[in-house]
Chain A
Amino acid sequence: MKGRTIYKGKAEGEALVTNQPISFYGGVDPDTGTVIEKDHELKGQSVKGKILVFPTGKGSTVGSYTLYRMKKDGTAPAGIVNKECETVVAVGAIISEIPCVDKIDVAKIKTGDRIGIENDVIKRL
């Protein structure tokens, strides 16, 4: 699948997929990478080292910094795949240098798939 590069680069990992938007600030514990939002379908699961696949971001504008500190602390996702990447997540990916691509039909990816990102291309490995 080919999408739009938000931040270039290569990443590989196991996909963690949700159909619900994510707010990194307030929705994810930066110390562990665990999703903590009440009623979120990923609640209790860790995004650390995963190819995190979600439709778009929501909520807090602090989320860019949350991604940045997760990257520094080793709890960030290895890569991000969105249907439509919003500015907060895009800026987070850019300053944290996390490969990120959007305009992808996220319904075609299942949790547990081994996924590779290379710039604007997504491959099942």
Chain B
Amino acid sequence: MMDGAEGYTVRKSMEILVALGDIYGAESLIDIGSVQVSGVSYSNLGDAGLEFLDELAKDGKVRVLTTLNPAGMDLENWQQLGISPEFAEKQNLVIKAFEKMGILVSCTCTPYLIGNLPLYGEHIAWSESSAVTFANSVIGARTNKEGGPSALAAAFVGKTPCYGLHLDEKRIPDIHVQVKAEFTKLSDWGALGYAIAKKAENKIPYITGIKKADLDELKSFCASVVTYGAKPLFYIRGITPGSEEQAEPKETVLIDQVDIKNAYDNINDPVTRIELVCIGCPHCSINEIAKAAELIKGRRIAEGTEFWVATSRSAKQLADKRGYSAIIEEAGGKFACDTCMAVAPLKGRFKSLATTSAKGCFYSRQNLMKTKMGSVEECVEAAVTGKWSS
């Protein structure tokens, strides 16, 4: 593979994988079950990234199930989201390159909800920080937090260097996080992720004190904890796999209601007028769409405010069949399939954002938005009044 007998892309990919293996002391390359590729929005990649992908697409073909992160626009309804034709043209070139490589154009950060679901203990090579954290922690699969290019390299070879989170000894938690706080809404899980990340920077948290959590809450927590600086693996005792086998680390920190309030204070900006409301970072599950539809039914999005539901195309199709899409669109809301506020080219378009997502707030700052984080109820209220009220 290194000698180029299997083509340019395989040789280039092996160079990246072997370099990583050498740096991190991997003894071998191991087979992987699937890949998730990040770095899809033209807004992130620019022309430099597009050229890089075009080179790889010349003779590169993926060897395992490979799914794709969100793009910079809804691939079908980009006009409705106010995307320029120039951007759409470049974005479509990026998508074409990935299609040529044999990658499924799934364009979601929640591959585990749409058919790329690894098994417990399975080795995979994923990028997309929230999905990596979900795969490692909630599913118990094994992946390092690959950069977009190293995830692609792994897909072209079907293997990844065996180091880091692929190894038992690197998956041992190193800080005990005792949680003494009550959670009443989805955004509390984003605030919890922020609070834990600040006390467990670059560490693997072992979390106790959480009695229950559902899929949407864990999805939100994964996105936040890794965005704000923890390693892409955690354990929640009694909830996530492997937590019973791991011992409580000695170093202990406490998270209480004050930490949760401080997280909100740090994530939120002083802003009242809301120009964009976006839920779905990570992409909305069908349950989250159902809840938004129920809340918005019969109401009307305020003049001068947009309401976006970011989700995968598969979840949208289910929402169409249940009538949720019609309810949201009748209220004046828009679906942002294949994309989200974190990767769409929104710089300068909206001055303020309301969202349920701590991660969404972090990445919207590069688009010069002031942010408010709250419950779905608060977000819908902001959408219909154009104001943040609490």
A residues engaging B (CB < 8 A)? 4-7, 21, 23, 25-26, 29-30, 36-39, 55-56, 58-66, 68-69, 71-73, 84-92, 94-95
Contact = CB atoms under 8 A, between A and B. Distances in A.
Given A65-B148, A69-B46, A58 B202 contact: yes
A4 B146 contact: no
A95 B20 CA distance: 12
Contacts of B128: 61
Given A36-B366, A61-B129, A68 B228 contact: no
B362 interface: yes
A59 B227 contact: yes
Contacts of A38: 266, 362, 365
B39 A94 contact: no
Given A68-B48, A92-B147, A4 B362 contact: no
B19 interface: yes
B365 A26 contact: yes
Contacts of B229: 21, 58-59
A23 B202 contact: no
Interface in B1-57: 16, 19-20, 23-24, 38-39, 44-49, 52
B164 A87 contact: yes
B359 to A, nearest CB: 9
A84 B45 CA distance: 26
B197 to A, nearest CB: 8
B285 interface: no
Nearest to B36: A61
Interface residues of B, number: 39
Given A26-B362, A55-B202, A63 B45 contact: no
Contacts, number: 123
Contact of B362 (A59, A91, A92): A59
Nearest to A56: B202
A61 B148 contact: yes
Interface in B98-147: 127-129, 132, 144-147
Contacts of B45: 65, 69
Interface string B150-174: 1100000000000010000000000
B366 A29 contact: yes
A55 B20 CA distance: 19
Contacts of A92: 147
Interface of B: 16, 19-20, 23-24, 38-39, 44-49, 52, 127-129, 132, 144-151, 164, 201-202, 226-229, 266, 342, 362-363, 365-366
A107 to B, nearest CB: 15
B146 A61 contact: yes
Task: Please indicate which of the listed interface residues A55, A64, A90 has the most CB atoms of chain B within 10 Å of its own CB.
Answer: A64
A53 to B, nearest CB: 16
Contacts of A37: 362, 365
B202 A61 contact: no
A118 to B, nearest CB: 17
B39 A6 contact: no
A64 B148 contact: yes
A73 B45 CA distance: 12
Contact of A61 (B151, B266, B366): B151
A86 B20 CA distance: 10
Given A39-B266, A69-B49, A62 B202 contact: no
A61 B49 contact: no
Nearest to A89: B147
Contacts of B132: 61
28 contacts: A6-B23, A21-B201, A25-B44, A26-B366, A36-B365, A55-B202, A58-B226, A58-B227, A61-B127, A61-B132, A61-B148, A62-B147, A63-B147, A64-B39, A65-B147, A66-B44, A68-B48, A69-B45, A69-B49, A71-B48, A87-B144, A87-B146, A87-B150, A89-B147, A90-B19, A90-B147, A91-B146, A91-B149
A27 B132 CA distance: 20
Contacts of A69: 45-49
A94 B23 CA distance: 11
Given A25-B44, A69-B45, A58 B149 contact: no
B141 to A, nearest CB: 16
